[in-house]
Amino acid sequence: MIKIIINEQSSGRIHSFEMKGHADFAEHGKDLVCAGASAVSFGAVNAIIALTGETPDIQQGTDGGYLKVIFPEASDSDHDIQLIVKAMIVSLQTIEQDYGQHIKLTFKK
């Protein structure tokens, strides 16, 4: 199962997210849940870098089963970053609605 932890400040600002695990929906290379979650998360991070010029702190595992992204605070682009991150969360929640046995989002304050 892919477990996604969204770290949210009391203000509602998303500080970071962490994805770990594998969906195990299908064999490697044919796993739609993994592909969808990866595309959404990496697409959001790439959009943040390309559209805001800000590069978050990105940590990845060697086997492809781990991603942690920490967003910069006190950035002039914070509003845009937060909008992109929240759009990513909506997309991940949509995947979770259909494939909840393979992907789980948790919010931590």
Digit-coded pLDDT (tens) for 43-100: 999 999 999 999 999 999 987 789 999 998 878 999 999 999 999 999 999 999 999 9
Domain boundary assignment for the chain: 2-108
Report the catalytic residues: 22, 34
Does 7 score more than 80 pLDDT? yes
φ and ψ of 39, to 5 deg:
-60, -45
Mean pLDDT of 3-15: 96
Please tell me the predicted confidence (pLDDT) of residue 63: 79
CATH topology (fold) of 2-108: Alpha-Beta Plaits (3.30.70)
Which residues does residue 5 pair with via DSSP β-bridges, in sequence order? 18, 106
Q: How far is CA 89 from CA 2, 25, 26, 29, in A?
A: 14, 20, 23, 24
Within 8 A by CB and 6+ apart from 32, the residues are 25, 26
What's the whole-number mean pLDDT along residues 21-43?
A: 91
